[in-house]
Amino acid sequence: MTAYVSAFDLFSIGVGPSSSHTVGPMRAGVDFAARLRAAGLLEKVERVTCELFGSLGATGLGHGTPDAVLAGLQDLHPETCDPDDVRALWSDWPEGRDLLLAGERRIPFTKDDVSFVPRTRLPGHPNAMTLHAFDAEGAPLLEQTYYSIGGGFIRRDGEEARVSAAVQPYPYDTAEELLALCDENRLTIAEIARANEMATRSEAEVAAGLDAIWDAMYSCVDAGLHSGGTLPGILKVKRRASDIREQLEAVESDGHPQVPGEWLGAFALAVNEENAAGGRVVTAPTNGAAGILPAVAMYWWRFLADSGLGAGNAVTPYGELVGSALLGFGAEASLVAVGAIEDPDEVAEANRRRGIRRFLLTATALGSLFKANASISGAEGGCQAEVGSACAMAAGGLTAVMGGTVRQIENAAEIAMEHHLGLTCDPIGGLVQIPCIERNAIAASTAVTAARLALRGDGHHYVSLDAVVETMRQTGLDMSTKYKETSEGGLAVNVIEC
């Protein structure tokens, strides 16, 4: 067993507004329809119903959960679907329209076939849903209960945790073990992660996959920076990222210095506004916290990568050159290393790509610890589990690309998480908008601060990352249910919905 979760699972490309309430339920719908097909039951099905329990029942409407369930039942996948095909699918479902089960079997369906049961919390997880299939006589054909456990991950009731068949060369369960592996093998955290990824993928596939994740993040930031109007839902929240972009561009065009810190906040707002609008988003590690890592990575990409601060190559605490083919991956990195790429812009682009891969791999290694030893689910641990984990991952990733040692990276993650302990999840109106959007911008700033503090030290510190992860787990257990994505406490009940 190992805590390590692949970057391609932790950073999955999906749709907004929630990894646990949208992406997970969509995957559950896909899985249920696939099981009906595999069992030879598809042609017998005449009705499908769904019950949403606990947090899914409490805030499912605001999170688009019933829309996602229907999309999944019709074989739409979060990675590849058009977000417009999911938005308002259930809420605008016309009377008399058939459901295309598994993308091929037409069956009658009404909105009442989805029921909300917020007061019933199943023991497996606060985010639970049960799907039922019936034949023409109303006899049950198949029933499955799914838990959406955060970050788009799902688990069927009674199913053991899935373990990869691949043997990872560097398994670890704690941050202490991860650091020991780095010391023993004279490797960076990113190199440990990359080696584990290559247990199931080739070098080229790992590089291409990480680039695809970054391209999706970059596109999401760009889309958010150029989209105005009002977000869907009863709150009628005005999108701000585009207006801020215009203001910052005007300041810079007037000859004033760049304002990286304000751009950092705009990047985060852009992603989370796209998420709230149901757009294409990368779970990082969840949708509710999806703006933090892209914002910090974009901050480095735009303002630091070419300035000598974390650009290109850096020396690790073991005297090895980070940014060699080992982290750059493949022919492109080798060409850069020997100077075969002569165009300065191409060299800069290649170096930035290598840095982003290092950023994502480092963040993956750290995020795996939170998922395995605490939680990344707001319904299970409050917003400390989502925004806190994302902030720590971003802080560690930035420290890595700024040339930090493995212990400075661990220190940065610890600082970031420590100052999110106890953070509640209390979305107003059950929407991933207030306080979620601004919270990502603030956490992105905290991640940068944590990285800079860690880089000014030597990596030694009193509180370990493992201690903070365990504290977050305990705090989540102690936290009242009303502060864990139910909209039954905090801002959700103290601010009037307008």
Tens-digit pLDDT profile for residues 310-364: 543 444 553 344 433 344 444 344 444 445 556 788 888 899 999 999 999 999 9
pLDDT band at 3 (very low <50, low <70, confident <90, very high): very high
| Joined tokens for residue 168 | 């990872």
**How many CB atoms neighbour CB 462 within 10 A?**
6
Q: Provide the CATH number for the domain around residue 71.
A: 3.30.1330.90
**344-373 helix and 203-225 helix, angle to the nearest 10 degrees:** 90
Q: Determine the pLDDT at residue 312.
A: 38
In degrees rounded to 5, what are phi and psi of residue 352?
A: -65, -40
Asked if 74 contacts 100 with a C-beta cutoff of 8 angstroms, the reply is yes
Strand partners for 155: 147
- Gap between the Cα atoms of 220 and 216, Å rounded: 6
Question: Are residues 434 and 305 part of one domain?
Answer: yes
DSSP summary character for residue 198: T
pLDDT at 498 > cutoff 60: no
Question: Are residues 405 and 344 part of one domain?
Answer: yes
The residues, ordered by sequence, that sit 6+ positions from 19 with a Cβ below 8 Å of its Cβ are 12, 150, 151, 152, 283, 285, 286, 287, 288, 290
Question: Count of H helices and E strands in the chain?
Answer: 20, 11
**292-299 helix and 203-225 helix, angle to the nearest 10 degrees:** 90
Q: Where among 126, 156, 186 does a domain terminate? A: 156
Q: Of 337, 328, 334, which Cα lies nearest the Cα of 358?
A: 328
| Residue 85 vs residues 52, 183, 258: alpha-carbon distances, Å | 21, 49, 39
Q: Is residue 360 part of a domain?
A: yes
| Joined tokens for residue 453 | 């503090």
Which helix (H) or strand (E) element contains residue 418?
Answer: helix 406-418
| Stretch 424-445: mean pLDDT | 95
Q: What mean pLDDT is reported for the chain?
A: 91
| Joined tokens for residue 312 | 């290109």
Question: Are residues 285 and 410 part of one domain?
Answer: yes
| Residue 436 vs residues 240, 298, 432, 470: alpha-carbon distances, Å | 14, 20, 6, 24
Question: Are residues 334 and 476 part of one domain?
Answer: yes
Question: Are residues 464 and 334 part of one domain?
Answer: yes
Q: Is residue 134 part of a domain?
A: yes
| Stretch 43-60: mean pLDDT | 95
Q: Is residue 495 part of a domain?
A: no
Which helix (H) or strand (E) element contains residue 326?
Answer: helix 325-328
Q: Mind listing the pLDDT tens digit for each residue in 237-260?
A: 999 999 999 999 999 888 888 889
DSSP summary character for residue 11: S
Question: Are residues 192 and 102 part of one domain?
Answer: no
Return the amino acid letter for 493: V
Q: Is residue 428 part of a domain?
A: yes
Residue 199 three-state SS: coil
Q: Is residue 12 part of a domain?
A: no
Residue 23 three-state SS: helix
Give the residue ranges of DSSP H helices in 156-291.
175-185, 189-197, 203-225, 241-253, 260-276
Question: Are residues 125 and 210 part of one domain?
Answer: no
Do the bridges between strand 153-156 and strand 140-150 make them parallel or antiparallel, or are there none, so unpaired? antiparallel
Domain that holds residue 77: 18-156
Q: Determine the pLDDT at residue 151.
A: 86
Q: Of 71, 84, 58, which Cα lies nearest the Cα of 24?
A: 71
Question: Are residues 203 and 152 part of one domain?
Answer: no
| Stretch 417-442: mean pLDDT | 95
Question: Are residues 264 and 292 part of one domain?
Answer: yes
| Joined tokens for residue 107 | 């069956």
| Joined tokens for residue 49 | 């119903």
Q: Is residue 130 part of a domain?
A: yes
Q: Is residue 170 part of a domain?
A: no
Q: Mind listing the pLDDT tens digit for each residue in 160-196?
A: 755 455 789 999 999 999 999 999 999 999 999 999 9
Tokens 């592996």 belong to 181
Strand partners for 148: 154
Return the amino acid letter for 263: W
Q: Mind listing the pLDDT tens digit for each residue in 299-313?
A: 999 999 987 555 434
Q: Where among 111, 126, 156 does a domain terminate? A: 156
Q: Mind listing the pLDDT tens digit for each residue in 90-135?
A: 999 999 999 999 999 999 999 999 999 999 999 999 999 999 999 9
Tally of domains within the chain: 2
Question: Are residues 263 and 145 part of one domain?
Answer: no
- Top-confidence residue, 276 or 309: 276
Quick check: bond before 17 cis, omega within 30? yes
Least confident range of 100-104, 127-131, 218-222, 375-379: 375-379
Strand partners for 49: 132
- Gap between the Cα atoms of 460 and 480, Å rounded: 34
The residues, ordered by sequence, that sit 6+ positions from 460 with a Cβ below 8 Å of its Cβ are 407, 411
| Joined tokens for residue 24 | 């997970």
| Joined tokens for residue 373 | 């030893």
Q: Provide the CATH number for the domain around residue 321.
A: 1.10.4100
| Joined tokens for residue 43 | 């042609």
Q: Determine the pLDDT at residue 479.
A: 96
Question: Are residues 83 and 142 part of one domain?
Answer: yes
- Gap between the Cα atoms of 23 and 9, Å rounded: 12
Q: Is residue 488 part of a domain?
A: no
| Joined tokens for residue 343 | 């165009």
Question: Are residues 408 and 374 part of one domain?
Answer: yes
pLDDT at 233 > cutoff 50: yes
Q: Determine the pLDDT at residue 319.
A: 33
Q: Determine the pLDDT at residue 315.
A: 45
Q: Where among 102, 124, 156 does a domain terminate? A: 156
pLDDT band at 460 (very low <50, low <70, confident <90, very high): very high
**Terminal CA-to-CA distance of the chain, rounded, Å?**
49
Residue 399 three-state SS: helix
